[in-house]
Amino acid sequence: MKKGTWLLVIGYWCLVMGCSGGLDRNVCPAFYHWQTHLQVSYENRAYLDSLGVRRLYVKYFDVDWDEASNQAIPLAEVQIDTSYLNKLQIVPTIFITNRTLLNLPAGEIENLAGRIFQKIKDLTTSSFGEPSRTPLSDEIQFDCDWTEQTKEKYFHLLTAFRKLSGTGSSLNLSATIRLHQIKFFEKTGVPPVDKGVLMFYNMGDLDEWPTENSILDLNTAEQYLSAGTSAGYPLPLDMALPLFRWGVLFRDGRLLKLINDLDGKELGDTTRFFKIADNRFEVRKSTYLQGYYLYEGDQLRLEAVTLRQLEDAASLLGKWMKKARRGQELNVVFYHLDQQIPKTYPYERLEQILDIFK
């Protein structure tokens, strides 16, 4: 081919594929489901459809280390009610505790991979029936806050898991990636998966009472991301954003518990609580709160993510991603789906946040 013809071909390619950065990303909203009973209500399904959600990352089970039997065991297995799930793609997601990997003998890794593989298959079949009727996506996701000490075992587990799906399988293996694993990836390693999901939350110092908001702290996030762009990380990255709130319970200055979905309403009961600052309360009289017994003098910090903070987070991530994934599919996964979500985060506002990624 002559030089001139080559130039013409390259020019046409750029026009079509948008290599100048002109093409939008195909942003696909998705949700995590992290509870043990998956039962999508009519309202939630309408909400998901309005937002264009086609994919649900469902935590199938946790894998934890059982001291008594000295082995890895599955816990908190999901029970799936298939109502209102039609046409939603389910991504089985498995959470593995770091202590499982710390305790697991190296010789047991492939066995564990096999057990997880089989358990996912069994759970899918028992929930959805025959494989042909299963609305499974081609993706399986692993969630683990691995450390330098456990990375070798974790990566081996992922490799062993992939092998089980067989050569030529269309399985897309993904793994959650924490911010520190992005910044220090040369040290913490890069998991052997097809893509990562950057968990853009839980970034502040949860244990410290003075912390403003440990769920989303953009100053901290900027420090982690300042070193480069997403292109610097060796895996394509999807994004996970927080849609949750909790109360952080402190006793005698020490973090004791997280109380999920706690809002300011219940803490407004002045016979039991008094407000000591914005989003901070002290227990006036010992009391039960969502199944926890709080003693007089205990302190609570309310943490939540506002839509404005989500917008800022999306802007920061958009800048960090620069031209990455342009013209391609980018999953933005919200953590996590529950009954309150439609009320707290109207879909129109989430659409605006998704637009920032385009």
Binding site for another protein (CB under 8 A): 67-68, 73-75, 77, 115, 118-119, 122-123, 126, 251-254, 256, 286-291, 293, 295-297
Q: Provide the greatest CA pair distance for the chain.
A: 85
Q: How far apart are CA 32 and CA 337, in angstroms?
A: 6
User: How far lies 128's CA from each of 43, 132, 135, 148, 200, in Å?
Assistant: 22, 9, 8, 38, 31
Is the Cβ of residue 43 or residue 66 nearer to another protein in the bound state? 66
Quote the radius of gyration of the chain (alpha carbons, Å).
22
Report the nearest approach of another protein to the CB of residue 297 (Å): 8
**Closer residue to another protein, CB minimum distance, 4 or 291:** 291
Burial of 308: CB neighbours in 10 Å, binned 0-12, 13-18, 19+? exposed
Closer of 130 and 348 to another protein (Cβ): 130
Q: Please say which residue, 42 or 293, places its beta carbon nearer to another protein.
A: 293
Q: At its nearest, how many Å lie between another protein and the CB of residue 220?
A: 23
CB 298 within 8 A of CB 313: no
Contact 27, 354 (CB under 8 A): yes
Give the nearest distance from C-beta 99 to another protein in angstroms. 13
Q: How far is the CB of 102 from another protein (least distance, A)?
A: 11
> 39 vs 172, which CB is nearer to another protein?
39
Contacts of 222 (CB under 8 A, 6+ apart): 316
**How far lies 21's CA from each of 17, 24, 169, 229, in Å?**
9, 8, 32, 15
CB of residue 123 vs another protein: minimum separation in angstroms?
A: 5
Considering the complex, what minimum distance in angstroms separates the CB of residue 105 from another protein?
Answer: 17
Nearer to another protein (CB atom), residue 296 or residue 355: 296
DSSP string, 214-269: SS--HHHHHHHHTT--GGGSSS-EEEEEE---EEEEEETTEEEEEEET--HHHHT-
